[in-house]
């Protein structure tokens, strides 16, 4: 492995070194074709950037990658691509914005290809989305097999929730020797609900990193998505054998038991996880929600209320308003009495109104998600006036925010109301834009059926029936959906549609 | 602690957005839903300047093509198959979005339908009912 300085030129009294990216291994290697340059006057900064890219994209070690990039920009403050990478890699929203600005401000010290990458991300930040798309595709056309460029494209497409296109870029790159890309591909396939393909891909990833707990953990997760719960548990156990402190696998075991239908064992596994480990705060909330969801799967509403309320109280004490509000939203969804559900949504709104520490975008998303739930519950209560008023609010939010997440909530809520009114074709047009939500996907199955499109109904049915997710929505929608279809007595209206 | 990249999928997959594209010499900037439907069903055969229209899209059984037909002609996938048999030669089929873009950029009078995120500078995107793909009520969004 070696780095070769192949071009040197003088610029404002400093020697700029463009270091070739012709490494034998590491992420900046390329399968064939031209290599993407990284321009810096500091060989040290270049080395740090290479390490950061490898840590982030190949090994998914975000904090370590951020630390390397901090050092890189300290070594060369005019290293525009290091600023750009830091903007992409950091989890700190303020730093994302600041580093994007620095990348743009220092772009004159970079070469044309780097400038094109920076311009594309700047256009994205400025919401010039079509310019950003064409900019990305132009860079990709010039460097179709360069690992860094492919990664940048895929990560940006992830940030836009464009998984179909991300998968196409990964496939077209022809890069087969990158563990990070295999991992990314498997998760993309899983989230596109192509579970068998995801298992096939993750098997290759696991084979490429046989001694890494994350590879076994990811393998377990893909098998869980595919409904192969016993095998999933075996791979989670393998991850823990490699690294007994790798706590996601302990909770993965619990998830698999829960989805398999053994809620008592699932709860024992969650409890063991909380006893042995101290997960990071956001992880802990996710795992506790999953633990609470075991009661929803058993239709034990009182047990669910107790478990979810305990989480809400914990988040209240932590002043995590958005998370607390979201817990109340989830409680609202499973309430057998929709009026009681609306009272929990009132609580969620009250918590959100007093949010002091949450990021504004997170509050907007939660606010929109609560509105979506309101429309859903009001539709269940046949309260059309309230539902229409809340849909109007959601529509205004969608039109003014230019935010795809809020837009999805709007389409989901519109689909509910149109379905309730019997306008199935219009309902389909909206529900098709919110298929990540399992309530919407279920309604879509019935809307297709009622509109006479049985081919699409069968396809959506197969997608829904094959879902194995850990969410409350899954517990409320997929399990009853499977049951009634297996019994052969399933008709729209026999389940909780809204 | 290394965890899987699930964090990037917090929002799950966004609905597919299809762009309507034409060659860069085409003077059209906007079409109405009705005009686009008439182009797709073969009733409108030429542009305002008299150039013949060539429709270019992916295989009609692809999800993208299903979306176009559903939104414009209100047809199911089964009806699309029948439509294609009844209108041979109306639509030029391309194997990929890249091919749709390439053909649209070189064939004068072409109109193509592509995944918005495949868009390149080789073609011109046109509005539908004055809306672009990022607008909330844009017509060609969806896909289950």
Mean pLDDT, chain A, rounded, equals 90
The verdict on A401 touching B (C-beta cutoff 8 Å) is: no
pLDDT value at residue A175: 87
Q: What is the pLDDT of residues A287-306, one digit of tens each?
A: 999 999 999 999 999 999 99
pLDDT value at residue A9: 26
Q: In DSSP terms, which residues pair with A5 in a beta bridge?
A: A19
pLDDT value at residue A23: 31
Would you call A11 helix, strand, or coil by DSSP? strand
Q: Report CB contact under 8 Å: A214, B3.
A: yes
Least confident residue range of A94-108, A143-157, A426-440, B77-91? B77-91
Q: Is the pLDDT of residue B3 over 70?
A: no
Confidence at A494, pLDDT banded by 50, 70, 90: low
Confidence at A422, pLDDT banded by 50, 70, 90: very high
| Closest CA in chain B for residue A436 | B12
How many CB atoms within 10 Å of residue A396? 12
The verdict on A60 touching B (C-beta cutoff 8 Å) is: yes
Provide the 8-state DSSP code for A35. P
Q: What is the pLDDT of residues A116-130, one digit of tens each?
A: 999 999 999 998 999
Q: How many contacts, defined by CB atoms under 8 Å, are there between A and B? A: 135
Task: Report the distance separating Cα A297 and Cα A301, nearest Å.
Answer: 9
Provide the 8-state DSSP code for B120. -
Task: Report the distance separating Cα A380 and Cα A417, nearest Å.
Answer: 10
Residues in B closer than 8 angstroms to A129, CB to CB, are: 134
Helix axes A472-486, A281-297, angle to 10 degrees: 30
* First-residue to last-residue Cα distance in chain B: 35
Backbone angles phi, psi at A349, to 5 degrees: -65, -40
Provide the 8-state DSSP code for B82. H
Task: Report the distance separating Cα B73 and Cα A425, nearest Å.
Answer: 12
pLDDT value at residue B1: 47
Confidence at A31, pLDDT banded by 50, 70, 90: low
Q: Is the pLDDT of residue B39 over 50?
A: yes
Q: Is the pLDDT of residue A442 over 80?
A: yes
Residues in A closer than 8 angstroms to B132, CB to CB, are: 130
Report the gap between the CA of A378 and the closest CA in chain B (Å). 23
Which of A183, A280, A425 is facing B5, going by the closest CB pair?
A183
Report the gap between the CA of A6 and the closest CA in chain B (Å). 32
| Closest CA in chain A for residue B2 | A61
Q: Report CB contact under 8 Å: A408, B15.
A: yes
pLDDT value at residue B9: 46
Q: Report CB contact under 8 Å: B120, A134.
A: yes
Which of A61, A165, A436 is facing B12, going by the closest CB pair?
A436
Provide the 8-state DSSP code for A57. I
Least confident residue range of A106-110, B10-14, B74-78, B103-107? B10-14
Report the gap between the CA of B122 and the closest CA in chain A (Å). 9
Residues in A closer than 8 angstroms to B121, CB to CB, are: 134, 138
Among B6, B7, B15, most A C-beta atoms within 10 A, so best to mutate, is B15
pLDDT value at residue A330: 98
Confidence at A479, pLDDT banded by 50, 70, 90: confident
ipTM exceeding cut-off 0.90 for this assembly: yes
Q: Is the pLDDT of residue B140 over 80?
A: yes
Least confident residue range of A4-8, A115-119, A142-146, A371-375? A4-8
Q: Report CB contact under 8 Å: B115, A165.
A: yes
Q: Report CB contact under 8 Å: A137, B118.
A: yes
Q: Report CB contact under 8 Å: B4, A283.
A: no
DSSP string for residues in A156-220:
HHHHTT-HHHHHHHHHHH---S-HHHHHHHHHHHHHTT-HHHHHHHHHHHHHHSTT-HHHHHHHH
Report the gap between the CA of B83 and the closest CA in chain A (Å). 15
CB B113 within 8 A of CB B92: no
pTM of the model: 0.86
Q: What is the pLDDT of residues A155-209, one digit of tens each?
A: 999 988 899 999 999 999 988 789 999 999 999 999 999 999 999 999 999 999 9
Task: Report the distance separating Cα B94 and Cα B100, nearest Å.
Answer: 6
Give the H/E segment covering residue B54. Answer: strand B54-58
Report the gap between the CA of B109 and the closest CA in chain A (Å). 22
CB B119 within 8 A of CB B19: yes
Task: Report the distance separating Cα A373 and Cα A394, nearest Å.
Answer: 11
Task: Report the distance separating Cα A209 and Cα B23, nearest Å.
Answer: 47
Residues in A closer than 8 angstroms to B120, CB to CB, are: 134, 137-138, 141
Would you call A465 helix, strand, or coil by DSSP? helix
Which of A405, A429, A459 is facing B11, going by the closest CB pair?
A405
Confidence at A223, pLDDT banded by 50, 70, 90: very high
Which of A214, A444, A453 is facing B2, going by the closest CB pair?
A214
| Closest CA in chain A for residue B68 | A429
pLDDT value at residue A12: 29
Q: What is the pLDDT of residues B104-133, one digit of tens each?
A: 999 999 999 999 999 999 999 999 999 999
The chain B residues in contact with chain A (CB within 8 A) are 1-6, 8-9, 11-16, 66-67, 70-71, 74, 76-78, 97, 115-121, 125, 132-134, 136, 141-144
By 3-state DSSP, what share of chain B in percent is helix, strand and coil, each rounded to 5?
35, 25, 45
Confidence at A487, pLDDT banded by 50, 70, 90: confident
Q: Is the pLDDT of residue A251 over 60?
A: yes
Report the gap between the CA of B44 and the closest CA in chain A (Å). 25
Which of A134, A158, A436 is facing B8, going by the closest CB pair?
A158
Report the gap between the CA of B126 and the closest CA in chain A (Å). 12
Provide the 8-state DSSP code for A56. I
Q: Mean pLDDT, to the nearest integer, of B44-61? A: 93
A495, exposed or middle or buried, with CB in 10 Å at 0-12, 13-18, 19+? middle
Place of tokens 């053994």: A262
Q: Report CB contact under 8 Å: B142, A283.
A: no
Least confident residue range of A21-30, A173-182, A451-460? A21-30
């Amino acid at each position: 492995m070696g780095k070769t300085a192949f071009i040197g030129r003088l610029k404002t009294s400093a020697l700029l070194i463009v270091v070739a990216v012709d490494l034998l291994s590491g992420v900046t290697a390329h399968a064939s074709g031209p290599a993407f340059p990284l321009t810096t006057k500091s060989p040290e900064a270049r080395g740090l950037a290479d390490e950061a890219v490898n840590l982030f994209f190949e090994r998914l070690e975000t904090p370590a990658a951020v630390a390397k990039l901090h050092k890189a920009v300290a070594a060369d403050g005019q290293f525009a691509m290091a600023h750009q990478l830091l903007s992409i890699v950091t989890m700190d929203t303020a730093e994302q914005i600041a580093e994007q600005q620095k990348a743009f401000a220092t772009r004159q010290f970079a070469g044309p290809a780097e400038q094109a990458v920076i311009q594309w991300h700047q256009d994205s930040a400025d919401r010039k989305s079509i310019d950003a798309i064409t900019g990305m595709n132009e860079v990709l056309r010039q460097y179709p097999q360069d690992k860094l460029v492919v990664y940048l494209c895929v990560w940006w497409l992830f940030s836009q929730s464009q998984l179909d296109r991300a998968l196409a870029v990964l496939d077209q790159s022809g890069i087969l020797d990158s563990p990070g890309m295999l991992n990314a591909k498997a998760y993309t396939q899983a989230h596109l609900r192509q579970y068998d393909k995801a298992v096939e891909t993750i098997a290759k990833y696991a084979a490429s990193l046989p001694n890494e707990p994350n590879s076994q953990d990811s393998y377990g997760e893909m098998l869980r998505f595919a409904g192969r719960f016993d095998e999933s548990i075996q791979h989670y156990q393998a991850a823990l054998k490699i690294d007994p402190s790798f706590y996601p696998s302990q909770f993965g075991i619990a998830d698999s038991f829960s989805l398999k239908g053994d809620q008592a064992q699932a709860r024992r596994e969650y409890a063991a996880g909380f006893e042995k480990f101290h997960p990071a705060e956001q992880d802990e909330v996710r795992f506790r929600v999953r633990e609470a969801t075991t009661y929803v799967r058993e239709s034990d509403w009182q047990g669910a209320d107790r478990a979810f309320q305990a989480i809400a109280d914990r988040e209240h004490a932590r002043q995590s308003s958005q998370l607390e509000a979201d817990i109340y939203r989830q409680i609202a969804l499973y309430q057998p009495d929709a009026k009681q559900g609306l009272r929990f949504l009132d609580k969620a709104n009250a918590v959100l109104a007093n949010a002091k520490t949450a990021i504004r975008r997170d509050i907007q998303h939660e606010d929109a998600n609560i509105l979506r739930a309101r429309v859903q519950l009001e539709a269940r209560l046949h309260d059309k006036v309230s539902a229409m008023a809340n849909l109007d609010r959601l529509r205004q939010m969608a039109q003014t925010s230019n935010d795809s997440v809020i837009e999805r909530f709007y389409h989901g809520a519109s689909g509910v109301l149109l379905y309730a009114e019997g306008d199935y074709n219009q309902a389909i047009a909206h529900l098709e834009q919110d298929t990540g939500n399992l309530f919407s996907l279920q309604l879509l199955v019935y809307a297709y059926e009622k509109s006479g499109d049985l081919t699409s109904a069968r396809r959506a049915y197969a997608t829904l029936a094959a879902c194995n997710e850990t969410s409350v929505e899954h517990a409320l929608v997929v399990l009853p959906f499977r049951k009634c279809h297996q019994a052969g007595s399933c008709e729209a209206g026999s389940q909780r549609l809204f | 602690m290394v965890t899987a990249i699930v964090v990037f999928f917090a929002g799950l997959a966004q609905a597919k957005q299809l762009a309507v594209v034409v060659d860069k010499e085409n003077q059209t900037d906007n079409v109405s839903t009705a005009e686009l439907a008439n182009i797709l069903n073969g009733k409108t055969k030429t542009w305002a300047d008299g150039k013949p229209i060539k429709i270019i899209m992916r295989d009609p059984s692809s999800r993208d093509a299903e979306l176009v037909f559903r939104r414009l002609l209100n047809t199911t996938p089964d009806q699309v198959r029948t439509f294609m048999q009844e209108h041979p030669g109306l639509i030029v089929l391309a194997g990929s979005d890249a091919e749709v873009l390439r053909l649209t950029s070189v064939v004068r009078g072409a109109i193509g339908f592509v995944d918005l995120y495949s868009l390149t500078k080789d073609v011109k995107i046109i509005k539908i009912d004055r809306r672009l793909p990022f607008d909330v009520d844009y017509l060609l969004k969806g896909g289950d």
